Structure formats: C-alpha cells, structure tokens
Amino acid sequence: MGSLSGKTLIVTGGARGIGRAYALALAKEGGNLVLADVLDATNVAEEIRDNGGEAVSTITDISNEQSNNEMARTATDAYGSIDVLINNAAMFSETTRGPFNEVTIEEWDQAFAVNVRGVWLSCCAVYPQMIKQGGGKIINIASNTCYKGTIGFPHYVASKSAILGLTRCLATELGRDGITVNVLSPDLIPDPTQRPTDAVSDEIVVAGRPLKRTQTAEDMIGTMLYLCSSASDFVTGQSILVNGGAYLH
C-alpha cells in the first residue's frame, strides 16, 4: 500500500512534462489520478492503468469556470472524493520572450487568465467537495523566476508571483476548513521539444546554482509526495523552492 492509497489527486496540466511526471509518481504511491489538461491526457491515464494504477483524464480549460466544475465532477464521479489538487497547468512555453514593453496586452491578459484566474477557479471548483470531506490539500506551482526577477517574459513572472499571494490568502482562509495550501516552485526544467532555446538558458542557470547540473522533472517528485501526503498535515501557507540552490530562500 502506497502513502497515497485511496486518495484522489487532480493534476492540471497532466498530459505532458512535469505534470505527467507528477501523475506517474503519485499513481505509484497508490493515488487515484485525475489528469486535467487542454491537451488529451488519455495516453498518460492509460500508462498509469497499464502499470496497475488508477487514472482518468478529462479535457479542461482551467481559465473557464464551467470547465473547472466539470473537472471536479469527473473526479467525484470516478472516485468519490477530491483529496489533493495540484495546480500545475500554466501558460509558459507559449509566452513570447522579449523586452517588457513589447508584450502585447492580449498575451499579458492571457497569461493572467490561465496562470492566476485558472488557479483560483480550480480551487473554487474543488472547494465544496473538500468541505464535504472535512479537509484536503491544494498545491500551487509557482516558479523560481519570481525570486530571481528573471527578465524576458514579465507577464509570466508577474502571474506566477501572484500565486504566492493567492496561496497565502487561501491558506489563511481555508485553514479553518482543514485545507492546507502551499506553493512548490521549480527552477528551469529544460524541454527542447517545446522550447528550443532551453539548452542555452540551462547553461546559464546551471552556472549560477550550487548544484551544477540540469534540473529534471524527477527532482520535483520527493517534495511533491511530501506535500500530498499526511507528512505535511501541519504545513500550510509555505513556499518551497526546489532549485538546486539557484535562489537561497
């Protein structure tokens, strides 16, 4: 029996990348996974089931209230509970890189619609079920860029910085309901298939951190498992950076 046996965990953005890595690892610990993504995550759900786990997928646009509510219904219909929400989905690879004053208003608004409003709406969608159960865990994914002031995509950095404040507000408000809310922030995890420039960026990032190697999605797993499990039941409102020491927090 894994540490998450019988628990239902929603992973937004679970179709690929870090979200997929989270889902596979959490399933190995016995969790029932709900993979919510604007992309089709059927293959990830099938991979989990082929390995003896439990998983369903659902097409979800987190910037849309109705879509988030349907995500929550999918979870409860499939498994009867929502124990953990991992707000991983974000607009990142799609952001245009360049000077701050060349970001279009449309792209600025889109980044906040997905990265901030989307997280808020996902929390709103699962809240009634968590109240009904008497508790739950929400884990919001921010970014090491918030602490380093990384240039080139200010709309992304600003939107992820907003998640820090939202998390603290929710942790304070929802503690009475037995719901913990924390932030997990990775540094750059290169994905050349999505962002060809990552190879160059990674050289710069690695040179500036104490642990001199490229960060991988698997580096996030241990801390994620901790935040999802009962080991972190008395931890809320906290920001945990997994970054090889790139920013000492």
Please report, as a single letter, which amino acid is at residue 231.
A
Question: pLDDT tier at 236 (50, 70, 90 boundaries)?
Answer: very high
Over the stretch 112-145, which tens digit does the pLDDT of each residue have? 999 999 999 999 999 999 999 999 999 999 999 9
Query: What pLDDT does residue 208 have?
Result: 92
pLDDT in tens, 204-218: 999 999 999 999 999
| Amino acid in the structure at residue 121 | L
pLDDT at 154: 95
Query: Each residue of 189-207: pLDDT tens digit?
Result: 988 777 777 777 888 999 9
Reduce the secondary structure of 119-149 to three states and give it as a string. Answer: HHHHHHHHHHHHHHHCCEEEEEECCCHHHHC
How does DSSP assign 57-96, residue by residue? EEE--TTSHHHHHHHHHHHHHHHS---EEEE-----TTSP
Q: What is the mean pLDDT of the chain?
A: 95
Distance CA 15, CA 160 (A): 21
Kindly give, in sequence order, each residue whose CB lies less than 8 Å from that of residue 173, ignoring residues fewer than 6 positions away: none
pLDDT value, residue 215: 95
Identified catalytic residue from 79, 127, 147, 156: 156
For 229, phi then psi, to 5°, come to -95, 175
Instruction: Render pLDDT for 33-42 as a digit per residue (tens, 0 to 9).
Output: 999 999 999 9
Question: Of 191, 212, 216, which is closest to residue 203 (Cα–Cα)?
Answer: 212
pLDDT of residue 1: 43
Work out the average pLDDT over 20-46.
98
Span 17-40, average pLDDT: 97
Residue 165 has pLDDT above 70, yes or no: yes
Instruction: For the chain, give the percent of residues with pLDDT over 90.
Output: 89
Mark whether 22 is an active-site residue.
no
pTM for the full predicted model: 0.96
